[in-house]
Amino acid sequence: MIDFKELAKKNHDYTVKMRRHFHKYPELSTQEVNTSKTICEELEKMGVEYKAYPDYTVIATIDSGKPGKTVLIRGDIDALPVQEETGAEYASVVPGVMHACGHDCHGAMLLGIAKSLSEVKDQLKGKVLLGFQVAEENLKGSRPMVQYVKDMGGADHSIAIHVGAGEEIGTFSIVGGPFASGVITYKIIVKGQGGHGSVPHQAKDPIKPACDLLLRLSALPSNAIDAQDPIVFSSCAINAGTAPNIIPNTATIMGTVRYFNKDLTQPIFDYLENISQLVCQSYGVEREVIYMFDPMIPVVNDPEIAKVGQKVAREMGMKVITEGKGMGSDDMALLLDAFPGFYANIGCANEAKGIGHVANHNCRFDIDEDALALGTEFLMKTAWELL
Q: 253: pLDDT confidence band, cut at 50, 70 and 90?
A: very high
What does the pLDDT read at residue 387? 95
Tell which wins on pLDDT, 23 or 219. Answer: 23
pLDDT surpasses 80 at 224: no
Distance separating alpha carbons of residues 374 and 386, to the nearest angstrom: 18
Question: Span 5-25, mean pLDDT?
Answer: 98
- Strand 182-191 relative to strand 58-63, pairing: unpaired
User: What is the torsional sign of CA 111, 3, 10, 17?
Assistant: positive
**What confidence tens digit (pLDDT) does each residue in 154-186 have?**
999 999 999 999 999 999 999 999 999 999 999
Is residue 328 within 8 A of residue 222, CB to CB? The reply is no
pLDDT surpasses 70 at 300: yes
Output the average pLDDT for the chain. Answer: 96
Distance separating alpha carbons of residues 163 and 171, to the nearest angstrom: 11
For the chain, how far is it from start to end, CA to CA, in angstroms?
Answer: 13
Report which secondary-structure segment, H or E, holds 309. helix 303-315
What does the pLDDT read at residue 229? 85
What does the pLDDT read at residue 185? 96
Distance separating alpha carbons of residues 318 and 44, to the nearest angstrom: 34
Is residue 346 within 8 A of residue 102, CB to CB? The reply is no
Question: Span 341-359, mean pLDDT?
Answer: 96
pLDDT surpasses 90 at 305: yes
Question: Span 371-376, mean pLDDT?
Answer: 98
pLDDT surpasses 70 at 222: no
Tell which wins on pLDDT, 273 or 221. Answer: 273
Q: Which domains does the chain have, with CATH numbers?
A: 4-179+299-386 (3.40.630.10), 182-291 (3.30.70.360)
Distance separating alpha carbons of residues 144 and 222, to the nearest angstrom: 36
Distance separating alpha carbons of residues 324 and 105, to the nearest angstrom: 24
What does the pLDDT read at residue 335? 98
Question: Span 203-215, mean pLDDT?
Answer: 97
**What confidence tens digit (pLDDT) does each residue in 281-290 have?**
999 999 999 9
What does the pLDDT read at residue 269? 93
Q: Which string of b and e fits 275-287 if b means at least 16 CB within 10 Å?
A: bbeebbeebebbb
Distance separating alpha carbons of residues 111 and 14, to the nearest angstrom: 9
Is residue 145 within 8 A of residue 333, CB to CB? The reply is no
Distance separating alpha carbons of residues 18 and 22, to the nearest angstrom: 6
pLDDT surpasses 80 at 226: no
pLDDT surpasses 70 at 221: no
- Strand 250-259 relative to strand 70-76, pairing: unpaired
Residues 6+ apart with CB under 8 A from 248: 192, 194, 206, 207, 240, 241, 242
**What confidence tens digit (pLDDT) does each residue in 90-148 have?**
999 999 999 999 999 999 999 999 999 999 999 999 999 999 999 999 999 999 999 99
Distance separating alpha carbons of residues 162 and 109, to the nearest angstrom: 11
Q: 351: pLDDT confidence band, cut at 50, 70 and 90?
A: very high
DSSP state of 142: H
The predicted model scores a pTM of 0.93
